[in-house]
Amino acid sequence: MNPPSLTDPDLPAAAVKVSNALASAIKAAKMERVVVLSSIGAEKSSKTGNILTAHTLEQVLKGTAPQTVMGLGSMFQNLDRKLPHIATNDIGRVIAEYMTKLNNEADKLVIIELEGPEDYSPNDVAKIVSDALGKTVAAVAMTEEMIRGLFNKLGFPKTTVDNYIEMLQGFDNDIIRWTTNETVIRIKGKLTFADILNKN
C-alpha cells in the first residue's frame, strides 16, 4: 500500500516517486512475490481523485516480481448507498494466504477484490455503532464546502482537497466501482462491522 503524502502539493508526483522507490527495492531484493494493497477504482487512470495514487502504484509494481497479487478494498460517501467494505483482519488473512502459497499455486498476476460478508451504507454503520454504544449516533453527509473547510483547517494543499472531493464524487457517480473483469477474483471476508466493534 502506498502511503499517500496528503500534505504534498503534488500528490500524484509524490505517488510516482514512492512507487518507483518500492519497485527499485523489490527488484534489488529479487523478491519472488509481491502483494499490493490497492483500492477499488485503481484500474482507472483518471477522475478518481486520490485513488489515482493506487493506480500509479499498481502500474509501476506490475512485473517487478515473478508473481504480483493486487488486493482491492472499498469505501463510501452517500449516506444510503450500500457499498462493500472489508475488515483489516480479513485483508491480512487473505494477503497472508497468498504470500505463503507455493509458486506453482499462484498465477503471475493475481487481482483480488476484497469485500466483507455484508455491504453497508453510512446509515447502516451509524445504526451498528449506535447499538454497540447504547446511544444514537447519526451519519451526516458533508457538503463540498464543509470538506474544503475541514481540510483547509488541517493545512492540506488545495490539490489534495480537490483530489479527495473528486474521489468522493467518483463513488457517488458510480465511476469508481468493482470491475466486471472475469479474471478478477472476488473474495468475501468473514467479519461483519458488528464483529469488529464487539471485538473491541
Average pLDDT over residues 140-158: 88
49 falls within a domain = yes
The number of distinct structural domains making up the chain is 1
122 falls within a domain = yes
What's the rounded Cα separation, in Å, for the pair 93 and 110?
A: 16
pLDDT of residue 192: 94
45 falls within a domain = yes
Residue 188 in contact with residue 116, Cβ under 8 Å?
yes
The backbone torsions φ and ψ at residue 73, rounded to the nearest 5 degrees and listed phi first, read -120, 180
pLDDT of residue 171: 82
Query: Between 37 and 29, whose confidence is greater?
Result: 29
pLDDT of residue 8: 82
pTM beyond 0.75, yes or no: no
| CATH number assigned to the domain comprising residue 51 | 3.40.50.720
Q: Is residue 28 very low, low, confident or very high in pLDDT (cuts 50, 70, 90)?
A: very high
5 falls within a domain = no
- Host domain of residue 76: 11-199
56 falls within a domain = yes
